[in-house]
Every structure is written in C-alpha cells, then in structure tokens.
A and B are shown apart, each in its own frame.
Chain A
Amino acid sequence: MTAVEFCGLDILCPMHLVLSDTGHVRHAGPTVKKLRPDLDLTGARFLELFDVKRPRAVTKMADLSALAGTKLHLQLRDPPQTELKGVIVPGPMPGHFTVNLSFGISIVDGVRDYALTSADFAPTDLTVEMLYLVEAKSAAMEASRKLNLRLQGAKIAAEEQAFTDTLTGLKNRRAMDHIMARYEKWGTQFGLMQIDLDWFKAVNDNMGHAAGDHVLQTVAHIMVEETRDNDTVVRIGGDEFVVLLPSAQEMGDLAAIGHRIIERLTQPIPFAGKECRISASIGVALFDPEGADTTAQVLDNADVALYASKNAGRAQLTFYEPELRENVTEPASRSA
C-alpha cells in the first residue's frame, strides 16, 4: 500500500497511524503529523513515541495488538506531553494495525498547542462544534457572572441602607438586633450604653428642625470618635442612642468612655451663628455570656440605669444594679 492509498483513511480519521506488526509507524495521518511537525514519524517505534498510561504494563507490540478494540489512554513522551485517547484495530493490510487518536477532554489545549484548524478534523468529527460550545458557553457564563456581581453589589447596598440611619449614618435598630443576636450566639461579652440627649426637645422647638438635625449629626460624630472601630453606635429613636462596646468590658473603661461623651456633648454646638446647648444621660449594663441575662434583658437593664441617671439630675452616668428596679416607677414604658 502506498501513501496515496491511505488517502481515504486520512480523510475519515486524520489522527490515525498505521503500524507494522513490529510496532513501527508505516504511515501517519495529516493531523498526527502536526503534533510532531519536526519529526519524521514514519519508521519510528510507536511505543517510543507514546506511553500507554492505561491499560498498564504495555511494553511491546504484542501487548498492544492484544488490546484491539479497547480504549487506550496515551501520552506523548516528548513535550508537550499531550494526553490522547486511542483505539487500535487490525488492518488495513494483513499483519498491520491502525491506531486512531483523539484529544478527548484536552481538546481546548490541544488545538492551541498545535494551532489546529477546522481542516485538521474529519468533516463528521464533532470537535469543532464542541469548541464552539465551549466558547459560546464561556461567553454566556461570563455575561451571567457580571450580572450576578452587579446584583450582589445592589443587594449589599440595599442591605447597608436597610441597616443605616439615613440622617446620621449610624446603625439603626434593625442592625442592632442583628449584632446583639450575633454576640449572644458567639458568647461575646460586651458593654452596653443607653444614651438619651438632655434638652434636645428645646433645641428642636426653639431653633428649628435644621438645628435639631445638625445637633444629631454632631452627636453621632462625637460618639463614633469616642468609641473604637469594632464598637457599634446605634440611633434607635429621635434622640435615643445605644452603644455596643465589645472592646470595653471593664466598668472602669465604660465609665471613662461615658464620661468623655457627656463632657463633649455638654460643650455648646454652634449652628447658624447661635449655640445649641444639650447634654446626655447614660445608663450602662454588661452582657456576660456566662450570666443568666439575655441581650434583650441587658438592653432593659441599661434602660433602667438610664432612667436613674435622668432622675439624678441629667448629665449623669449610672451602672445598672438590680436594686435600681425597686426605685423605678415605670421602666418598661420607656423602651416602648
């Protein structure tokens, strides 16, 4: 059989090799030649070109020819060590064997490594369609990924907004509930302050809402400055604030922070050429994960302490003690 006579095989399976019974290459299909363009494959020993990975222990031609019809996992011995699938059958001439090869799953790398074109595959081969699909699906996935990223960004922004007090930029009550639930679940000890502004209503009534808003923004700024990054300042109502302080678990630390806040809030706040004068009353309680109180009860404890501060004449800071409850007439109504 001459090279011309392999013409039919070259078209039907351009990635084939015809071997003699000694295992030497008699003919290589046009696409196989492209895998090793600098090498004359004709006359080379098949098993010196290819390593048979599976089935194992194929070392001579007799082993290989015995595997006629089964799937072979092959790898080129020289770099690039492309892995190929193959199958060997007897023919086309007596005493000869034909091995047909394909890239299998490594096709995407294969076409790039060897600069293959559509003409290198049989017209009936689905490789080109598969490459089309890989590219089309990647492009579609990329578009979907971008959409997901944009949606995720919008979701984060919406959540951020849902947890933020828009006037002051502080966290709101919903955010506080989430954070306290997290501390309770993780067993994080933290200090809690309930802070009420004193005489804020007078500022609002006498100087207008613009002045009131300015005061609230200034107060928010001061509270954030006086606390640490991992503390949370919350505006839970008109002039009511809560500060969660996982950084300050000692009474002494909490007292120092609270007194500094009162001191700074007592300084007059300039607005439109006038001065707004307010102060703050603070109630402090501690959440101890080992203790019996839930975070909701700790919030209420701080409220009781706050009420005591107000009764003691404003600009005061009080630590919660169970005895305080006996002196309080209506603690529950305040948090409503």
Chain B
Amino acid sequence: MHGLINRAIQCFVTDTYGTETWHAVAVEAELDFVEFEAMLLYDDALTPRVLDAAAHLLHRPRAEVMEDLGTYLVSHPSVEALRRLLRFGGVTFVEFLHSLDDLPDRARLAVSDLNLPRIELREHTSSCYSLFCYSSVQGYGHVMMGVLRAMADDYGALALLEHSGGDAGTEVISISLIETEFAEGRIFELGARAG
C-alpha cells in the first residue's frame, strides 16, 4: 500500500487522538517503526493491521474509525491540500459525484504509483445515486462515506448516505440528495495557495 495512504492514517490518529495513541497503534500493529514515509511503498498487509489496531485501542468498531478517517481527510486543516484537489472535481456537489469515477486516474496523474481503489457512480434519478467501491481493504466504503459526508458539507449540499453493505471486495453506498444548495458551503478559489 502506498505510503501516502498509510501516512494519512497515521496523521488521522495523531491529529485526532495524540502522538501517544499513534505510538501505541504502531506497537500493537507490530510496525517496528512509528513514522510512515509518504513517498515510499509498504507491504499491503500493514494497512489492515494498523486499522485493526486503531479500532481495538480506541474501543470503537473499525467501520466507525474508517468513516472518521474519511471525514478527517476532507475537513482537517492539516490536509487542506487534499480537500482542494477533490474540489477540482466539480463546481457543484453533483458534478463532484460524477467526477468520482475519475478519482483513481486523477490520483495517478499526481503520483504515478498511487493506486486508489476503483469506484463507480450509478445514477438512478437526479437525486438518487449508488457508489460502488471495489477494494481489497475491507471498509473502504466507510472511508468514502466519511469523504462524501464532509464534501457535501463543503459544497453546502444536504445528502443522506447509507452504507448498504456488499460482497467481499465490493461495498455500496446509497446517496440521496435532499438539497444541493442547503447551506453556504466553503469557498473554493482556483488560485488560492494550499497550505
């Protein structure tokens, strides 16, 4: 798994629960180190181990931890650059939803060896969608739930999200769009410098 993903999990735990908690997670996951390097590649087996260790130490279901991770990725100031990159996907939340199919390609354009799980948006009506997430890491759908929830806030849209389970390797999220201009949303300027 790419260091960027592992590093994101590390930053999430550190920024949310403190450095000591992260060190405990690293020990429990038997990492032999405490710092993931964003630009190196790691064994795929490490990532689920880190997620399990975090869930165990925080006494919370892994799905919940993963959804918080998704929310963190979009809303925490220390990863503002990522929110901006996602906002490039579209001017409105609906446009953003339609850009999700391209997300792995967009990621690869930036970092050529970063392989994100494939996702696919299916439109049932103009306000009703399903997002199919195909990932070997169980619970990736929950991360996407967190991302979508935070992005809806970011665009000022009101959406109901539901994780409708799925088979091994496939998770489905149901998206009901209640209102596209529910609130102000956060400003996105093309020319702003990401912190």
How far apart are the CA atoms of A118 and B155 in the complex, in Å? Answer: 14
Binary contact track B15-44/A, C-beta < 8 Å → 1, others 0:
000000000000000000000011110000
Q: Assess the A143–B39 pair: CB atoms within 8 A.
A: yes
Q: Would A136 and B85 be within 8 Å (CB), given that A117-B91, A118-B91, A147-B38 are in contact?
A: yes
Interface SS of B by simple majority = loop
Cross-chain contact B38 with A117 (CB below 8 angstroms): no
Q: Spot the interface stretch: B137-145, B158-166, B172-180, B186-194.
A: B186-194
Residue B45 CB within 8 A of the other chain: no
Q: Which residues from B are CB-within-8-Å of A140?
A: 39, 110-111
For A119, give its contact among B91, B189, B191, B193 (CB under 8 Å): B91
The reply to whether B190 and A133 contact each other, CB–CB distance below 8 Å, is no
Q: Does A116 contact B (CB under 8 A)?
A: yes
B85 x A132 contact (CB < 8 A) = yes
Q: How far is the CB of A298 from chain B (nearest CB, A)?
A: 46
A113 to B38, CA, bound (A): 32
Report the separation of the CA atoms of residues A125 and B40 in the bound assembly, to the nearest whole angstrom: 34
Q: With an 8 A cutoff between CB atoms, is B58 at the interface?
A: no
User: With A and B bound together, what is the CA distance between A133 and B90 in angstroms?
Assistant: 15
Does B110 lie within 8 Å of A115, measured CB to CB? no
Query: What's the least CB distance linking B73 to chain A, in Å?
Result: 13
Closest chain A residue to B35 by CB distance? A150
* Nearest neighbor of A111 in chain B, beta-carbon distance: B191
Closest B residue to A143 by CB, please name it: B38
- Give the CA-CA distance A90 to B51 in the complex, in Å: 63
Chain A residues with CB below 8 A from B110, complex form: 133, 136-137, 139-140
Please state if B190 and A117 are interface contacts (CB–CB under 8 Å): yes
Q: Which B residues touch A129, using CB under 8 A?
A: 88
Are B109 and A133 neighbours in the complex by a CB distance under 8 Å?
yes
Given contacts A135-B81, A136-B109, is CB(A143)–CB(B4) below 8 Å?
yes
Interface code A279-297, partner B: CB below 8 Å = 1, 0 otherwise?
A: 0000000000000000000
* A118-152 contact mask (Cβ, 8 Å, vs B): 1 or 0: 11000000001101110111111001101100100
CB contacts (< 8 Å) of A118 on chain B: these are 88, 90-91, 190
| A131 & B4 in contact (Cβ 8 Å cutoff) | no
A139 to B114, CA, bound (A): 14
Beta-carbon contact of A128 and B190 below 8 Å: yes
Partner of A135, one of B37, B84, B90: B84
B106 in the interface (beta carbon within 8 A) = yes
Say yes or no for A112: interface residue by CB 8 A criterion. Answer: yes
- Decide if A131 touches B88 in the complex (CB within 8 Å): yes
Q: B88 — which chain A residues lie within 8 A by C-beta?
A: 118, 128-129, 131-132, 135
Chain A, Cβ-Cβ closest to B111: A140
Contact bitstring A253-294, B, C-beta under 8 A = 1, else 0: 000000000000000000000000000000000000000000
Partner pick for B40 among A112, A113, A131, A147, CB 8 A cutoff: A147
Assess A108 versus B191: contact at CB under 8 Å? Given A140-B110, A147-B37.
Answer: yes
The A-contacting residues of B in range 42-65, CB under 8 angstroms, are none
Residues of A within 8 A of B38 (CB): 143, 146-147
Do the beta carbons of A131 and B190 come within 8 Å of each other?
yes
A139 touches B85 (CB 8 A): yes
Complex contact A112–B85 (CB within 8 A) = no
Of all chain A residues, the one with the shortest Cβ separation from B38 is A143
Shortest beta-carbon distance from B39 to chain A in Å:
5
Docked Cα-Cα span, A144 to B110, in Å, equals 12
Which B residues are CB-close (under 8 A) to A110?
191
User: What residue of chain B has the Cβ atom nearest to residue A146's Cβ?
Assistant: B38
Q: Which chain A residues in 136-174 approach chain B with CB under 8 Å?
A: 136-140, 143-144, 146-147, 150
Enumerate 28 A-B pairs (CB-CB under 8 Å) in ascending A order: A108-B191, A110-B191, A111-B190, A111-B191, A112-B190, A112-B193, A115-B189, A116-B190, A117-B91, A118-B88, A118-B90, A118-B190, A119-B91, A129-B88, A133-B109, A135-B81, A135-B84, A135-B85, A135-B88, A136-B111, A137-B110, A140-B111, A143-B4, A143-B39, A146-B38, A147-B38, A147-B39, A150-B37
